[in-house]
Amino acid sequence: MMTDFFFKLRKASVPVTLTEFLTLLEALNQRVTAHSVEEFYYLARAALVKDERYYDRFDQVFASHFKGLETLFDGLAGVSVPLEWLRKLAELTLSEEDQQLIEAMGGWEKLMETFAQRMAEQEGRHQGGNKWIGTAGTSPYGAYGYNPEGIRIGQDVSRHR
């Protein structure tokens, strides 16, 4: 999907380089944007278009290539994963010590209840701190921070490696 987008931009004479395309892919891999078409649009435009003369061409290619993406994100907005599925996954992937830490926080239900509450309250990206879901903080939810009793979200490697 993304490779086709890259080639369509080049075909439309938008001077996109492979380095810029790889930068966009890395930003997506690092989850720089939330699940929003608008945020993805601005990220892609910032990464790929270095001269505003090409904004119109970019807009046309983006609109045709990602047509219908808005409805995909809208469809995901109300989706919730059954708690039992998450519990079973945790049993398969968490060590006995990790499971004990979750129990110390009030159990899996309490942890997921608090997580859902924070997701509902939070209005945007967050970095640092000890409450909101984000990066580089001490909140029990997020990525690239520190909380021995927390849930890692969106981080594909251990922070110890």
CA atoms of 4 and 131, how far apart (whole Å): 40
CA 156 to chain CA mean position, Å: 11
DSSP state of 52: G
Q: What is the pLDDT along the chain (161 residues), one digit of tens a residue?
A: 688 888 999 999 999 998 898 998 888 888 887 667 788 889 999 999 999 999 999 999 998 888 766 654 554 555 566 667 666 666 666 667 767 777 777 776 777 777 677 767 766 654 555 555 555 555 555 545 554 545 555 545 555 44
CA atoms of 159 and 143, how far apart (whole Å): 9
Provide the b/e sequence for 29-58 (b: ≥16 CB within 10 Å). Answer: eeeebeeebeebbebbbebbbeeeebeeeb
Structure tokens at 108: 């899996």
